[in-house]
Amino acid sequence: MKITNICCIGAGYVGGPTMAIIAQKCPNIKVMVVDLNQERIALWNDADVTKIPIYEPGLSDVVAEARGRNLFFSTEVDRAIEDAQLIFISVNTPTKTYGLGKGMAADLKYIELCARQIARVATSDKIVVEKSTLPVRTAEVLKNILEHTGSGVKFQILSNPEFLAEGTAVQDLLQPDRVLIGGDTTPEGEKAIQALVDVYANWVPNDRILTTNVWSSELSKLTANAFLAQRVSSINAMSELCEKTGADVNEVARAIGMDSRIGSKFLKSSVGFGGSCFQKDILNLVYIAKSYGLNEVADYWEQVIIMNDHQKRRFANTIVQTLYNTVSDKKITFFGWAFKKDTNDTRESAAIYVADYLLNEQSKIAVYDPQVKESQIQKDLNYLETRSLEANKKGVTCFEDPYLACQEAHAIAVLTEWDAFKSLDWQRIYDSMKKPAFIFDGRNLLDEKKMRDIGFVYQAIGK
């Protein structure tokens, strides 16, 4: 089957960039991205392409090229489903906040709603593709819902997890390490797999397109995120030991990373990993393991999260201890709020938890982040429900100018590794701060010698 009409349900961090690249690379395929969120769709359609709702280097150019040609954004979900031969489901799958599995399991209500909507609307055969990250065996649930419509319409379900990282999404999509497609081993299943392979083959070399059974594909996605997060927690565990022993975590990372069996990537010690997925996916893995009675497996992976929580707390606690055991009414400036550089995404960012800890100690926080808006920062803090909206407003002030953010501050905490922070006028910043002027570098970003030469009391993770 040749695919000429694709629909993607969910215009978020995955659906938006992924479909933009498919549309760019496959001009003969019509790609319709739909979402219930009208505001988000309006931004995707904004005449000023720099206003698209997701900040990713290079993305606005891709959207500018394909939008209106074969890439469209709409809130008309039913119509898009009806028209499409192949439907990607890219909706969110957050950790459950209620009921059985609360705080652990993935909440599949949005996925199920999509399946029910597809079942209700479709009048012709469809390939339904799981793009969202899902617990292993979710395809079974989708199949159950889709096969009981009584309409005679046939569905094939594929798993095609997304491995892009935010901040490098365009590059990751253009040159993926691999594209993974899981499907049934029946003749119909194989035909569906081939149809999706043919879409990717427009720009991805064949040897990078991997096909497996559905369950392997679903579980590979959770496994990849668990392994990546585990590396960060492993180096962060060593960072604490480095601080006690006089070893330098950067030197240790370099030394072990040169072992080709270990590899050099993902060994950057930090204030802790954030983002919408690592924690959610590991908790989900832990939940799945427990549900099969595999308690040792569950405990093993849970430790990755425990270590990460410890790292965030430890960083905040070091600030308090170093500032003479009190930060009450002291201004502390956060450089960065996003969970990593080159994104405006703040979900599960370490900055949120460090801020919460310091606000409990009655600190006054100033934030400068080149891409995150004040309203988002307040939303992130209010979501924790630690204190009133007014208290969060009073405790945190946002600045659009990094120099103003630092005036009269007792300390700076680097929470996000934005490149631009390195080239600021640090002498000017030092001059405007209270003395002694402290820097707590949660990203090992700044030049230690330079900062010390200026006069800062400089502390970095793992040194």
Choosing from 133, 138, 346, 363, the residue that interacts with ligand UGA (CB under 6 A) is 133
Under rule CB under 6 A, residue 267 binds ligand UGA: yes
- Sorted by sequence, the CB contacts under 8 Å of residue 334 that are 6+ apart come out as 351, 354, 355, 365, 366, 367, 368, 369, 412, 413, 415
Q: CB 350 → ligand NAD: shortest distance, Å? A: 17
Under rule CB under 6 A, residue 275 binds ligand UGA: yes
**Quick count: other Cβ atoms within 10 Å of Cβ 289?**
18
Under rule CB under 6 A, residue 10 binds ligand NAD: yes
Q: CB 327 → ligand NAD: shortest distance, Å? A: 33
Under rule CB under 6 A, residue 44 binds ligand UGA: no
Q: How far is CA 220 from the centre of its chain?
A: 17
Q: CB 55 → ligand UGA: shortest distance, Å? A: 13
- Sorted by sequence, the CB contacts under 8 Å of residue 298 that are 6+ apart come out as 286, 287, 289, 290
Active site residue ranges: 277
Under rule CB under 6 A, residue 268 binds ligand UGA: yes
Choosing from 20, 105, 277, 433, the residue that interacts with ligand NAD (CB under 6 A) is 277
Q: Look up tokens 């489903």; give the residue.
A: 81
Binders of ligand NAD: how many residues, by CB under 6 A? 27
| Residue type (1 letter), 366 | A
Under rule CB under 6 A, residue 166 binds ligand NAD: yes
Q: Which is nearer to ligand NAD, 35 or 302 (CB)?
A: 35
The answer to whether 11 and 73 are in contact (CB under 8 A) is: yes
Q: CB 258 → ligand UGA: shortest distance, Å? A: 16
Q: How far apart are CA 219 and CA 208, in angstroms?
A: 19
Choosing from 3, 7, 8, 11, the residue that interacts with ligand NAD (CB under 6 A) is 11
Q: How far apart are CA 399 and CA 44, in angstroms?
A: 27
| Residue type (1 letter), 249 | V
Under rule CB under 6 A, residue 249 binds ligand UGA: no
Question: 145: exposed, middle or buried (C-beta count within 10 Å: 0-12, 13-18, 19+)?
Answer: middle
Under rule CB under 6 A, residue 368 binds ligand UGA: no
Under rule CB under 6 A, residue 441 binds ligand UGA: no
Choosing from 24, 56, 146, 162, the residue that interacts with ligand NAD (CB under 6 A) is 162
Please name the helix (run of DSSP H) or strand (run of DSSP E) that holds residue 189, with its range, or none: helix 187-200
* CA neighbor of 411 nearest in space, from 353, 315, 331: 331
The neighbouring-strand residues paired with 457 are: 438
Spell out, one character per residue from 144 to 183, where the chain touches ligand UGA: x when CB under 6 A holds, - when not.
------------------xxxxx-----------------
Choosing from 200, 273, 440, 458, the residue that interacts with ligand UGA (CB under 6 A) is 273
Binders of ligand UGA: how many residues, by CB under 6 A? 20
Q: Which is nearer to ligand NAD, 41 or 412 (CB)?
A: 41
* CA neighbor of 9 nearest in space, from 93, 135, 124, 69: 93
The answer to whether 100 and 180 are in contact (CB under 8 A) is: no
234 phi/psi in degrees, rounded to 5: -65, -45
* Residue 40 interacts with, from ligand UGA, ligand NAD, none (CB under 5-8 Å by kind): ligand NAD
Q: Which of residues 118-147 bind ligand NAD (CB under 6 A)?
A: 132-133
The CB-nearest residue to ligand NAD is: 12
Please name the helix (run of DSSP H) or strand (run of DSSP E) that holds residue 159, with its range, or none: strand 155-159
Q: How far apart are CA 317 and CA 430, in angstroms?
A: 23
Under rule CB under 6 A, residue 339 binds ligand UGA: yes
Q: CB 22 → ligand NAD: shortest distance, Å? A: 15
* Residues in contact with ligand UGA by the rule CB under 6 A: 133, 162-166, 225, 228, 232, 266-268, 270, 273-275, 277-278, 339-340
* Residues in contact with ligand NAD by the rule CB under 6 A: 9-15, 34-37, 40, 77, 90-93, 110, 113-114, 132-133, 162, 164, 166, 276-277
